[in-house]
Amino acid sequence: MTLRTEFHRRTWLLAIAVLMLACTRRDAASDGAPDLVLANVTVIDGLGGAPRAGQTIEVRAGRITALRAAAPDDSSTFDVAGAFVTPGLIDSHVHFDPRNTAAVRASLDSMLRRGVTTIREMACCAPDYAKLTDSPDSARFPRIYTSAFWAGPQFMRDDPRVAGLSGLGEVPWLLAVTDSNDLAGALRGARESGATGIKIYSDLSPDLVRKIATSAHDAGMRAWSHTTVFPMRPSEVAAADIDVVSHAALLVWEGTATLPSHYDGPHPFNPFGPPAPYTSIAPRDPRVLAVLATLKRRGTILDPTVAVIRRSIGTAAWAWTIEVTKAAHEIGIPLTVGTDGIPIFDEIEALVDSVGLTPLEVLRSATSVGAAAIGIESTLGTIEVGKIADLVVYRADPTADIRALRTPAQVIRGGRLVGALR
Ligand SMILES: [Zn+2]
């Protein structure tokens, strides 16, 4: 054996010995060693607190198990030096057509890669989403929380948006509701279908809406609606024990003498809805401000969906929506980030640039407030020990320029790097 061969043999033996030792150590430490370490990062916790530099986040079995000041020998699972970490973003107002499965999958996949790790789906058809959530590639999608869609019989009969959906008006996730419904049974069915909340929509009386909301809470579900549920006034909705109201623009209906009975005629959220009086009612009309005061007092969350108004309606409605959302923010009503069909960054930037939220405030809206809207705040929406490790890593500081959110360096879902899933 030449000296050279002997050297190689020794090197190999040494390498094998080191490898065996490493394996033994890993086995011995399998309880203690984190699956993922983000060392020396700036943490933006989602609660609105100031960013904390020099932190280390450890993740085990999909959860955040340590959050502490970084030690000099901490080393990251991947390169995060100088990075900023936020909780995964939560879009509180998403619509898909569940019949087009390929398109839904493509949208969900791209949302997750942009940092949206959770969505509240606001149309219907929980069983279709349950199939996606149960599919083997569900780790490539945001977590999906769905609503059962409830409205009066007229809506189910006449509205073209739901025409042709299977089970229309009959199934608990797409139900025509009247006073004679067995609400407890229907709620049980809605819950079993996978829905988290009831979306209370149109053509319902104030009494019935109140009853639905209270029964939903009794059944462990959330009550969600628009800021008006024709023919109800926004003030009646605000008093009806709803957890989250969507669309600041629809608060305009508090100022009118009479309200439409249902969505019919040209309308911001429905080409078949009634025209809204954005030029004759002031956004700070005392009647509108009184509704905001009720929402604030009751702890109701507002899902304002401002950017979609600019895109789809026009300048009067846009100006009205911005001003009323400012008023809501000024008195401390918690706002979510709900997109209703537009990219999430457009809504986030509109809330900062036009409504006047600070980047920290909008990040809180897009994380912990979004989690509270869905009712999952004990497990998601913040960077805290014990929470599910849904995180987004950015190279630039989003609190210095919120546009940094547009280019996440890495998205982590349940402790797994999303980039490694494809
Ligand atoms: Zn919507």
Spacing, Cα 269 to ligand 1 middle (Å): 7
pLDDT exceeds 70 at position 11: no
- What is the CATH T-level fold of the domain 89-382, as seen in this structure? TIM Barrel (3.20.20)
CATH 3.30.230.10, domain 3-85+403-421, yes or no: no
CB of 321 closer than 8 Å to CB of 350: no
Spacing, Cα 7 to ligand 1 middle (Å): 70
Work out the mean pLDDT of the chain and round it to a whole number: 89
Mean pLDDT of 200-215: 95
CA distance linking residue 294 with residue 328, whole number of Å: 11
Q: Helix 126-134 crosses helix 101-113 at what angle (to 10 degrees)?
A: 60
Spacing, Cα 212 to ligand 1 middle (Å): 20
pLDDT per residue as tens digits for the range 151-205: 999 989 888 888 888 899 999 999 999 999 999 999 999 999 999 999 999 889 9
Spacing, Cα 159 to ligand 1 middle (Å): 15
Q: What is the DSSP secondary structure assignment for residue 379, as one 8-state letter?
A: T
Q: What is the DSSP secondary structure assignment for residue 49, as one 8-state letter?
A: P
* Tokens 């628009």, residue located: 226
Spacing, Cα 126 to ligand 1 middle (Å): 16
Spacing, Cα 258 to ligand 1 middle (Å): 24
| pLDDT value of position 9 | 53
Tokens of 323: 């001003």
Mean pLDDT of 233-260: 94
Backbone phi and psi for residue 162, each to the nearest 5 degrees, phi listed first: -105, -5
Spacing, Cα 411 to ligand 1 middle (Å): 26
| pLDDT value of position 420 | 62
| pLDDT value of position 212 | 98
Q: Helix, strand, or coil here: 190?
A: helix
Range in 306-315, 333-342, 405-414 with the lowest mean pLDDT: 306-315
CA distance linking residue 20 with residue 26, whole number of Å: 10
Spacing, Cα 169 to ligand 1 middle (Å): 19
Percent of the chain, pLDDT > 90? 73
CA distance linking residue 220 with residue 211, whole number of Å: 14
| pLDDT value of position 28 | 37
Domain ranges of the chain: 3-85+403-421, 89-382
pLDDT per residue as tens digits for the range 320-351: 999 999 999 999 999 999 999 899 999 999 99
pLDDT exceeds 60 at position 270: no
pLDDT exceeds 50 at position 318: yes
pLDDT exceeds 90 at position 386: yes
pLDDT per residue as tens digits for the range 143-162: 999 999 999 999 898 888 88
